[in-house]
């Protein structure tokens, strides 16, 4: 197949020339994590922006306490409870940390004046399902249980994430709906990783997607690592869900060259068919993780659109 580089937005064409993970296996995962950790800049002081940031541990009965980064306004302007956003980082279920999302989470907390909780869930292949989703649920539980102390309205707690983080957010919404313990008012899913079949021999998909950053081969390795010996079922594999009724209102974002484009669109259609309010945004000329080029017009547009969606979904 000829390259799809010409279909990228001109400001994003550097994404086609970046180093990509190839022939990933369990032995290489640790080395890739170390390299990624070295690329995360030192966390900026949030105080000049009127914020605090601290580490918390969310307990859970069936596993270790879950480390999270908590953000919020250093001083509350009034006694009125505000919204909260539980963020789940991306990384193919294999990589990533809350620190890598620190700039965006500080931006959200500052611009909206809300509490943000970013969860450091356990990673595959060492920790396949159900561990990652259990960790996210523990973070959601902590946020609800501590809502009064945080000045958070428990009816205005939303969730979201990117890529695998978006997949875990979608899974968390399903788990929370079925458990009926902790309400979620809204979810923001940025090119979420929803379907273990995508990129397999049986489901290769449109040849115009998935050339850059996150490929079919990486997707299959990520899912195999995440699933372990478990069957591919909802909630951990959201695309396998049978009933979409009762899920929270959704902002679904994807891109025309992203491997997840079609599974994202199909998931949004399933939500709509179930009567769930769902806004679907598809950016032309963008690929997976295009926001790394921060000054590109589409990246600026994404940040503005996400913030607007958060503001609407959380009632800010």
For the chain, give the percent of residues with pLDDT over 90. 87
Mean pLDDT of 219-237: 97
The predicted structure's pLDDT at residue 75: 81
Q: 3-state DSSP call for residue 87?
A: strand
Sheet containing strand 250-255, strands side by side: 51-60, 63-73, 115-119, 82-88, 152-162, 186-190, 250-255, 278-283
Of the chain, the end-to-end C-alpha distance in Å amounts to 46
Quick: pLDDT tens for 299-312.
999 999 999 999 99
Lookup: tokens for 194: 């929803």
For residues 85 and 251, what is the distance between their CA atoms, to the nearest angstrom? Answer: 14
The predicted structure's pLDDT at residue 132: 98
User: Cβ contacts of residue 243 below 8 Å, gap of 6+?
Assistant: 274
Confidence of residue 1 (pLDDT cuts 50, 70, 90): low
Quick: pLDDT tens for 70-117.
999 988 766 689 999 999 999 999 999 999 999 999 999 999 999 999
Quick: pLDDT tens for 116-163.
999 999 999 999 999 999 999 999 999 999 999 999 999 999 999 999
Mean pLDDT of 230-247: 98
The predicted structure's pLDDT at residue 94: 97
* Mean of pLDDT over the chain: 95
User: Cβ contacts of residue 78 below 8 Å, gap of 6+?
Assistant: none
Quick: pLDDT tens for 263-288.
999 999 999 999 999 999 999 999 99
Annotated active-site positions, please? 163, 258, 288
For the chain, give the percent of residues with pLDDT over 70. 98
Quick: pLDDT tens for 146-157.
999 999 999 999
Quick: pLDDT tens for 17-74.
876 787 888 889 988 888 888 777 788 899 888 999 999 999 999 899 999 999 999 8
Query: Which domains are present in the chain?
Result: 5-313 (3.40.50.1820)
The predicted structure's pLDDT at residue 80: 85
Confidence of residue 257 (pLDDT cuts 50, 70, 90): very high
Q: Specify the pTM.
A: 0.96
């Amino acid at each position: 197949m000829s390259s799809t580089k010409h279909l990228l937005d001109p400001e994003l064409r550097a994404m086609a020339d970046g180093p990509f993970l190839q022939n990933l296996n369990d032995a290489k995962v640790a080395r890739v994590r170390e390299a990624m950790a070295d690329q995360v800049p030192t966390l900026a002081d949030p105080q000049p922006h009127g914020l605090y940031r601290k580490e918390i541990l969310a307990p859970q009965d069936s596993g270790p306490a879950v480390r999270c980064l908590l953000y919020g306004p250093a001083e509350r302007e009034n006694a009125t409870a505000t919204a909260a956003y539980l963020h789940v980082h991306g990384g193919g279920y294999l990589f990533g940390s809350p620190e890598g999302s620190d700039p965006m989470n500080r931006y959200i907390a500052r611009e909206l004046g809300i509490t943000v909780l970013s969860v450091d869930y356990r990673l595959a292949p060492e920790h396949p399902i159900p561990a990652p989703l259990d960790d996210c649920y523990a973070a959601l539980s902590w946020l609800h249980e501590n809502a009064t102390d945080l000045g958070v309205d428990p009816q205005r707690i939303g969730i979201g994430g990117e890529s695998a983080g978006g997949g875990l957010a979608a899974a968390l919404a399903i788990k929370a709906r079925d458990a009926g313990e902790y309400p979620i008012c809204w979810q923001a899913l940025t090119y979420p990783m929803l379907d273990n079949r995508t990129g397999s021999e049986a489901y290769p998909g449109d040849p115009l997607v998935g050339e850059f950053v996150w490929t079919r081969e990486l997707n299959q390795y990520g899912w195999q690592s995440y699933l372990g010996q478990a069957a591919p079922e909802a909630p951990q594999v959201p695309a396998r869900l049978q009933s979409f009724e009762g899920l929270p209102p959704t902002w679904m974002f994807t891109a025309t060259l992203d491997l997840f484009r079609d599974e994202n669109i199909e998931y949004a259609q399933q939500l709509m068919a179930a009567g769930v309010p769902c806004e679907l945004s598809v950016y032309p000329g963008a690929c997976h993780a295009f926001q790394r080029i921060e000054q590109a017009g589409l990246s600026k547009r994404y940040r503005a659109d996400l913030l607007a969606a958060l503001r609407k979904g959380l009632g800010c």
